[in-house]
Structure 1
Amino acid sequence: MTVTAIVLAAGQGSRFRAEAGADQDKLLAACTGLDGVTRAVIEQVLVNLPATLAERWVVTSPERLEVVRLAQAHGCKVLLLESAGMGDSIAAAVAASASADGWLVVLGDMPFIRSATIERLLADPGGITVPVHAGQYGHPVAFGRVCGPALMALTGDRGAKPLFAQAQVRSVQVDDPGVLWDVDVPQRLSFSVER
């Protein structure tokens, strides 16, 4: 089974910029990862991807040269997209990797997800597999090959959540608060949850 990781890194991060400054890209903000090493947010996300993911795509905008450089340094293919819409990003990346057996959709601003959690999601890439922590759906989400056409049909800023009503959804209970922790504002660069 070849599951392709799709890292969404095209969003503008407007909430983060509103607090940190218009020139501050949250994906490039320094944060200390689960391994105690300080890296850019997007780099933490890439480091946490398990080696079992044969192909990795980072979807980002053409002007984000440093995000492109980091993605390539970590062996990722880069898909440049003018749209910041999550639906557009997922559709384009799935189309570009259409031969995959499944896809793991990863948000580029979630640097504290454990590799072991991702491995558990990849164990059965049939329909849709989603991590659940403290009763809440989290990220990343794995989609089996059967979901390919629906993923390629996504548009605009709507993500893949509407697909949950159309496919078999398997919940995986995880003891990993990182699946709920995104860096929307500068205060979220520090992972303060008890773990």
Structure 2
Amino acid sequence: MRRPAGSRWLSAMTELRTERLVLRAWRDSDLAPWAAINADPEVREHLGPLLSRAESDASVARFRRDIARRGYGWWAVEVRSTGGFIGFAGLDRVDDGLPFTGVEIGWRLARPAWGHGYATEAARAVLDHGFGTLGLAEVLAVTTAANLRSQAVMRRIGMTRDPADDFEDPAAPPGPLRAGVLFRVARG
């Protein structure tokens, strides 16, 4: 896999800090709360089936490998004032099989963390890192057409949607998870 143009190979995990959050390396203590997030039907509503503990743990192993290899990926997110783990945010390559390529931004937070502006705050830090440190020219965001909460975050961080870019996700089962929307934002 190629690194984004202008990116530096990072030997150590980059930690991102905002006023209220820390985006950091995954810890073993994150595994149980991450599994609870992935077993929550409301959190998974626009993502697909609930994940078992083994599937959830395997996702963290992938996240760790990606960050170690590329210097970016899905970082664990914690609230600075409490040190409490609340989910993930970060950047990843667009999944194979979609009708576009690039680097996408994303987030997944525990339900108690919803409605506090954490997703927007984390996403802004991730965009700054993607454009400033990694030198990305564009960042994409993908969600289902029905996921209005995530689409609102995408708009708050300056992303726009062209309905001509809407797509059918071939990896999703038939039904509402298949209808996808694509948001974009360019550097500068």
Q: Which structure is richer in relative contact order (CA contacts within 8 A, separation 6 or more)? A: 1
TM-score of the pair, normalised by structure 2: 0.31
Q: TM-score, normalising length from structure 1?
A: 0.30
